[in-house]
Amino acid sequence: MINKELLKHNINTHFNWAVGHRRHLHQHPELSFEEYQTSAYIASVLDEIGIPYNIVAETGILAVIEGGEKGKSIGLRADIDALPIQEETNLPFASLKKGVMHACGHDIHTATLLYAAKILWATRSDIKGTIYLLFQPGEESFPGGASLVLSSGILNDKNIEAFAALHVSPEIDAGKVGLRPGMYMASGDEIHVEIKGKGGHAALPHTFDDTVLAASSVVVALQQVVARKGDARIPSVLSIGKFIANGATNIIPSSVKLEGTFRTMNEEWREKAHQHITQIIEQTCKAHNTTAIVDIRKGYPCLINNASITNKLRNCFIENIGQANTIDLDIRMTTEDFGFISNNYPSVFFRLGVGGVKESTGVLHNGGFIANEEALKTGALAMVLAAETLLEE
């Protein structure tokens, strides 16, 4: 479909262009569902290139590149939102917004897709099929921009047969990519619990209901959800990260609040686990003569990579990026709202190495994270190759 020598030439030719756009995006981050200026900037770049687009989910953009011949329709996605984190990098293009930073690399994602779009548009006469470019808002915040894009119906009549997306990884050196067929990222749900009872003077335990003891027993009892209720072959994590008992040295409060997360790689088990969690909390509290209000908020679903597409793309990466630069990934218990898309379309979600900057903390969601901009070249190449692979008959 695409002349490989011309592709590499175009990547080198437009690298500084891509770096410039990435740095602008990095300097002007916006939080989830507030990406109005980011959206306007992306639109201006698409206008400059000549690519048509529509607004979706208020701050998202769906652009389209029609190939020279009719064929499949596929999608490429980049998320555009930033995080509520104060930047601490001292870069000359550091965030200009106090307490807001592209600490998860979405500026790299967006610039990479724009970079690939510029190359694909220039060679569109050689493309057989249609490529949709989704610049998606709100990946970092519930309910996830991907779910809003899907519910908007904008994709319903596009006959899209497959999707691809990438995410930066500071653990992987720039110039490398990583893939994993099948289960890759977990679902993620929030657990909110309020335990109520008759509080009282700590020196008179026979006169009140010990909500603190009840809550402590709940935390311990919940460990059986993964350890004894779940299939040991299904990766699962249940963690309680917040325990608020606002009493005093001699006061047992009438209310204690717990918050935590449940993550797994199996949607059927996910539903059963929610039932076990609720039942265990309620029964444990009953044993302590207290009551519980349990609120389990469903987050993003599991992200499953289509095995056939992922393996085809892996072979393509080996051929064009190199065997040594194409690595196999392990599962991750972190979440990603691309899971909504992978549950609706055959999809592949891969990692782009951005490591190799010694001044960086090398950790995402951290104020000292610095991405290696050389990765933009590999990212653009990978996205173009993903488009080519997904468009194949």
Q: Quick one: pLDDT at residue 1? A: 58
* Per-residue pLDDT reduced to its tens digit, 252-280: 999 999 999 999 999 999 999 999 999 99
Please state which architecture CATH assigns to domain 187-298. Answer: 2-Layer Sandwich (3.30)
Q: What is the mean pLDDT of residues 14-41?
A: 98
Phi-psi region of 331 (alpha: psi -120 to 50; beta: other; left: phi over 0): beta
Q: What is the mean pLDDT of residues 46-67?
A: 98
Q: In the structure encoding, which two tokens stand for residue 82, read together?
A: 């930033």
Give the CA distances from residue 291 to residues 189, 210, 223, 276, in Å, rounded to whole numbers and listed in that order. 22, 11, 20, 17
* Per-residue pLDDT reduced to its tens digit, 350-378: 999 999 999 999 999 999 999 999 999 99
> What whole-number distance in Å separates Cα of residue 216 and Cα of residue 142?
28
* Per-residue pLDDT reduced to its tens digit, 132-157: 999 999 999 999 999 999 999 999 99
> What whole-number distance in Å separates Cα of residue 95 and Cα of residue 88?
9
Q: Quick one: pLDDT at residue 6? A: 87
SS (H, E, C) the chain: CCCHHHHHHHHHHCHHHHHHHHHHHHHCCCECCCCHHHHHHHHHHHHHHCCCEEEECCCEEEEEEECCEEEEEEEEEEECCEECCCCCCCCCCCCCCCCCECCCCHHHHHHHHHHHHHHHHHCHHHCEEEEEEEEECCCCCCCCHHHHHHHHCCCCCCCEEEEEEEEEEEEEECCCEEECCEEEECEEEEEEEEEECCCEECCCHHHCCCHHHHHHHHHHHCHHHHHHHCCCCCCEEEEEEEEECCCECCEECCEEEEEEEEEECCHHHHHHHHHHHHHHHHHHHHHCCCEEEEEEEECCCCEEECHHHHHHHHHHHHHHCCCCCEEECCCECCCCCHHHHHCCCCEEEEEEEEECCCCCCCCCCCCCCCCCCCHHHHHHHHHHHHHHHHHCC
> What whole-number distance in Å separates Cα of residue 142 and Cα of residue 190?
10
pTM of the complete model? 0.94
> What whole-number distance in Å separates Cα of residue 181 and Cα of residue 342?
12
* Per-residue pLDDT reduced to its tens digit, 293-340: 999 999 999 999 999 999 999 999 999 999 999 999 999 999 999 999
Q: Quick one: pLDDT at residue 100? A: 98
Q: Quick one: pLDDT at residue 5? A: 84
Burial of 18 (C-beta count, 10 Å sphere; 0-12/13-18/19+): buried
> What whole-number distance in Å separates Cα of residue 181 and Cα of residue 82?
28
Q: What is the mean pLDDT of residues 17-37?
A: 98
* Mean pLDDT estimate for the chain: 97
Q: In the structure encoding, which two tokens stand for residue 197, read together?
A: 């009872």
Mean pLDDT check: name the lowest of 1-10, 24-33, 69-78, 111-120.
Answer: 1-10
Question: Can you give the residue ranges of every domain in the chain?
Answer: 4-186+302-391, 187-298
* Per-residue pLDDT reduced to its tens digit, 175-231: 999 999 999 999 999 999 999 999 999 999 999 999 999 999 999 999 999 999 999
Fold annotation for 4-186+302-391: Aminopeptidase (3.40.630)
Q: b vs e for 44-70, b when ≥16 Cβ sit within 10 Å of the residue's Cβ?
A: ebbeebebebeebbebbbbbebebeee
